[in-house]
Chain A
Amino acid sequence: MSHSDTIPLHPSSQSDIDEIENLINADVHSVSVLPARPPSPPRVSIPISHSPSPLPPYQKVPPSASPPPVVPAVPAAAAAPAGSSRIGISSDAFGSPPDTLTEPVWDTVKRDLARIVSNLKLVVFPNPYREDPGRALRDWDLWGPFFFIVFLGLTLSWSASAKKSEVFAVAFAILAAGAIILTLNVLLLGGHIIFFQSLSLLGYCLFPLAIGALICMLEGNVIIKIVVVSITLAWSCWAAYPFMSAAVNPRRKALALYPVFLMYISVAFFIIAID
């Protein structure tokens, strides 16, 4: 039952054991039929008029915090490997490829890290796709925001001289609850956004403030702290602006943006004041 010389097009036509055998054989071949940059699986996101993004037949259930490899029913995610020990699987396969379960843990971690980095580049740094909200965070995830919120909380807690645990609690609560409330605010104002995509975006926009907090922890001078935090605050607001303003009716743009700025300004103030 060796299929070493034929690579099937549809894994659903095989048994699981055959697929595992193919994996082992593919190792030998080290065939990589995939592009160097794994294609992002299309996910539930804002459909935009000029770039057709057909919803895949297998819609991904938005994961709250669990990493995608745990959900084996996402074939598209499995089509984006990081290592070379994979077979190319067509992204519209209805079978459940076991690759994300049998792959090495390091591959899973590398894939998630790659996605975090690519989302960061799309959201926070200048790039031609920033103005396009449907494209910008099509591949949203919640690991990045989680890391940034925890990192920011920890940095503030380390910088504080007293009541460290209360500082962490307040920072974490403001950021986490704030992201949820800001998203609800946009939805209540009649805006069109996807709940988790917005949470993801607001979390990624914390990246500049996290860097600012790290610099302020290492640096003691108040003037330098104020300058650094002001720059990173402006950067964060600039990163969040296109997404939020495009989501609502233009007459209510200020109503949707003001709470975002309020949250970032309060975090910035917190960073400066904690010493």
Chain B
Amino acid sequence: MEEGYTSLPTSHLLGSVPAVIAEEKPSAGASQSLPANLQVFPPGNGGYIPPESPLGGEEQAANNWKGFCSLSSYTPYFNVDTDVVVDRIISSVYPMDEFSRKIDGSPDLYGPVWISATLVFMLAALGNYGTYLIQKRSEPNGDWEFDVSYVDWAACVVFGYAVAVPAAFYFLLQYFGLNANLVRLWCMWGYSLFVFIPASLFLVVPSEIFRWIIIILAGSASSWFVYLNLKVSTEGSDTRPLVVSALVLQFALALFIKIFFFS
């Protein structure tokens, strides 16, 4: 029954944020089959290459970018299935460099967005739960209050980091003359945050030593993942300090998570 919905005469309503309905018509046909058109994200140099076409398809850089407000401009970056996303998540936990090969042709933005959202929820919820446990241990009859500011801080820190740091590295890499694709950087950094989700589950345990061990492990895994993938992207020029600073930043994020939310 579900298949019937993919061929409805409402394809002109695909991505119909109301103001841009007229523009969706040309892209509706392309979206129903796997897109064979390339989409060049405006500032980047790499083209978006769909999985089944050969890698040298750059001459077809027909720019399907319809502007920042048209939903169909972003659809190629969400063209993933469940198993693809799960596969990428698993390969992000083990700090091996298969990940860059997996996202070579088709970086996605679904993973980064929802991993960050999940992480925000986890940090706010489990951070509060951690303070609840600590307070119940020290004074069993005391009053515990839910601290709403954890939600604000978690959202600002996680989303800010996931958006700003890859963008900053993109501009730095461009400055050094290396080709970099902004969407790939966002994708990679977003998936690198996944390790912190199970780590935050373990951080609830109200023991300082245990918490420090967990966060050091998670921080190292995540930083190593970022380091490996960034090294692949920069292909060993003299950007060693840049790559090392990425590693340090990731570790600093891990420390901040521990100190702010779970102490």
A contact residues vs B (CB 8 Å cutoff): 46-47, 49, 62, 160-163, 166-167, 170, 184-185, 187-190, 192, 194-195, 245-255, 258-259, 262, 265-266, 269-270, 273-275
Contacts and interface: CB of A to CB of B under 8 A. Distances in A.
A187 B125 contact: no
A273 to B, nearest CB: 4
Contacts of A252: 80-82
B71 A269 contact: no
Contacts, number: 100
Interface stretch (B45-53, B143-151, B181-189, B222-230): B143-151
B8 A167 contact: no
Interface string B93-136: 00000000000000000100110011001000100110000000
A161 B148 CA distance: 11
Nearest to A275: B146
A260 B19 CA distance: 25
Contact of B81 (A167, A251, A258): A251
Contact of A255 (B71, B81, B145, B152): B81
B8 A166 contact: no
24 contacts: A46-B5, A47-B9, A62-B18, A163-B148, A185-B113, A187-B14, A187-B17, A188-B71, A188-B74, A188-B77, A188-B78, A190-B14, A190-B75, A192-B6, A192-B13, A194-B13, A245-B2, A246-B5, A249-B81, A251-B83, A262-B117, A266-B121, A269-B125, A274-B146
Nearest to A168: B148
A190 B125 contact: no
Nearest to A188: B78
Contact of A187 (B1, B71, B83): B71
B220 interface: no
A21 B182 CA distance: 68
Consensus secondary structure, chain B interface: helix
A161 B146 CA distance: 9
A187 B13 CA distance: 10
A249 B114 contact: no
Contacts of B81: 249, 251-252, 255
Q: How extensive is the interface on chain B, given as a class? A: 35 or more
B10 A46 contact: yes
Nearest to B145: A162
B192 to A, nearest CB: 19
A195 B148 contact: no
Consensus secondary structure, chain A interface: helix
Contact of B125 (A185, A195, A245, A266): A266
B114 A259 contact: yes
Contacts of B6: 192, 249
A60 to B, nearest CB: 13
B36 to A, nearest CB: 15
Interface in B1-38: 1-6, 8-11, 13-18, 31
A160 B75 CA distance: 40
B85 interface: yes
Contacts of B78: 185, 188-190
Contacts of B77: 188
B233 interface: no
B80 A255 contact: yes
Contacts of B234: none
Given A162-B145, A266-B121, A249 B16 contact: no
Given A187-B15, A251-B82, 7 more contacts: A47-B8, A189-B110, A192-B6, A249-B6, A262-B118, A273-B146, A275-B146
B64 interface: no
A274 B128 CA distance: 11
Nearest to A247: B5
B8 A195 contact: no
